[in-house]
Amino acid sequence: MREITADHLPDLARGAAVLGTGGGGDPFVGRLLAEQALKRNGPVTLLGLDEIDDAAFIVPTAFMGAPTVMLEKLPSGDEITGAMRALEELLGRKATHTVSIEAGGLNSMSPFVAAAEAGVPLIDADGMGRAFPELQMLLPTLGGVQASPMALADERGNSVTLRTDGNAWAERLARAATVEMGCSAAVSLYALTGRQAKDHLVPGTLTLCERVGRAIREAREGHEDPVAAASGVLGGRTVFTGKIGDVQRTTTGGFARGTARLTGLDADTGSALELSFQNENLVATRDGEVVVSVPDLICVLDTDSGEPVTTETLRYGLRVSVLGVPCDPRWRTPEGLALAGPGYFGYAHEYVPFRGAEV
């Protein structure tokens, strides 16, 4: 158990955006939202999964939509509390705790808003150990936990609730509502018990985000290599260093989809890397060969500053390092790969588990 104050947020948001693997929202926007909520309501209590009761009633929240849009249509935070309240009302029960469903600059921060405004502790965990674009892509889905009943809310006061025949239908109906709401909405879903959380969530995600964010900052302050520092904490490995050239990006179906082409620098001079993304980085292909692929993490960092670069801010001329990081082992099972492996996203390649640095 710890108290999180506004002082903890910058490291947390930075590290969360690294684990967001290109998605999960903008860390600057996320930090501002959380700061505002903590300023209004005081610190948020962070609890480990081992500190909660099996009977705890946990109501998670997140932002859903295309991050390209959220850069312009800034969330206010009220949508998050609106979605949580709508789900609590539907379930006829108040949350005892909240948690984030994915790591990400926005989606690790907005749960602080939910926790602060509802006055409940936040659990140090998440549902993926990274970010994924579709809402059924949660480890709890593998354990049979239902996304619905779920609620969506927008900044106008519109709210939508869903009861669906499985989590893929929840994604489908929620995505359609999100698109109509202007391609971004707050959601509250996957209400789960303490027991389910212990069985199916990834423990310690927020602490890990903070360690990554702190390592980057301290390396930068000490004139050391911030990318190597992040990689060290995550057990990852740099697969490419280069300059971003062409970026193709479209916002379709409620997602930011596209590709970015990088030309190699330093040791990678003469090589090219292509990144494919759907909100999150999905596949990194070096000179025609897949080097990292979903469900493993592909994290793009500014080479000099170590700041994470989300897919919506990829732009020509940026010098970046691309890290591969092994995913939670549950994603590497046949069921995990069926839910979020390359085949689901329409890629033909076989998944080869990424090997991080020897530790």
Q: Which stretch binds its own copies (CB under 8 A): 135-143, 154-162, 216-224, 333-341?
A: 154-162
Shortest Å, Cβ 140 to its own copies: 20
In whole angstroms, how close is the CB of 161 to its own copies at the nearest point? 5
Region near its own copies per CB under 8 A, out of 39-47, 102-110, 120-128, 176-184: 176-184
The SS3 of residue 221 is: helix
Find residue 44's DSSP bridge partners: 4
Residues 72-131 that bind its own copies (CB under 8 A): 86, 90
Task: Tell which one of 12, 34, 83, 181 touches its own copies (CB under 8 A).
Answer: 181
Contact (CB, 8 A) for 20 and 280: yes
> Which member of 161, 276, 285, 303 binds its own copies (CB under 8 A)?
161
| 150 versus 216: smaller Cβ distance to its own copies | 150
Binding status of residue 169 toward its own copies by CB under 8 A = yes
- 141 touching its own copies, by CB under 8 A: no
Does position 162 interact with its own copies (CB under 8 A)? The reply is yes
- Binders in 2-61 for its own copies, by CB under 8 A: none
* Residue 302 binds its own copies, judged by CB under 8 A: no
Kindly indicate which of the ranges 171-179, 197-205, 228-236, 315-323 contains the residues binding its own copies, using the contact rule CB under 8 A.
171-179
Exactly one of 55, 156, 317, 346 binds its own copies (CB under 8 A); which one? Answer: 156
Whole-angstrom Cα distance, residue 141 to residue 207? Answer: 24
Contact in structure between 208 and 79 (CB atoms under 8 Å): no
Which of 100, 108, 146, 159 is in the footprint of its own copies by CB under 8 A? 159
SS3 25: coil
Provide the CA 36 distance to its chain's centre, in angstroms.
21
* Strand residue runs (E) in 6-131: 44-47, 57-58, 61-65, 122-123, 125-126
In DSSP terms, 259 is beta-bridged to: 248, 276
Question: What does the radius of gyration of the chain's CA atoms come to, in whole angstroms?
Answer: 19
Q: Is 223 in the site for its own copies (CB under 8 A)?
A: no
Cα–Cα dist 281/294, whole Å = 8
119: left (phi over 0), alpha (psi -120 to 50) or beta: left
- Interface with its own copies (CB under 8 A): 86, 90, 156-165, 169, 172-173, 176-177, 179-181
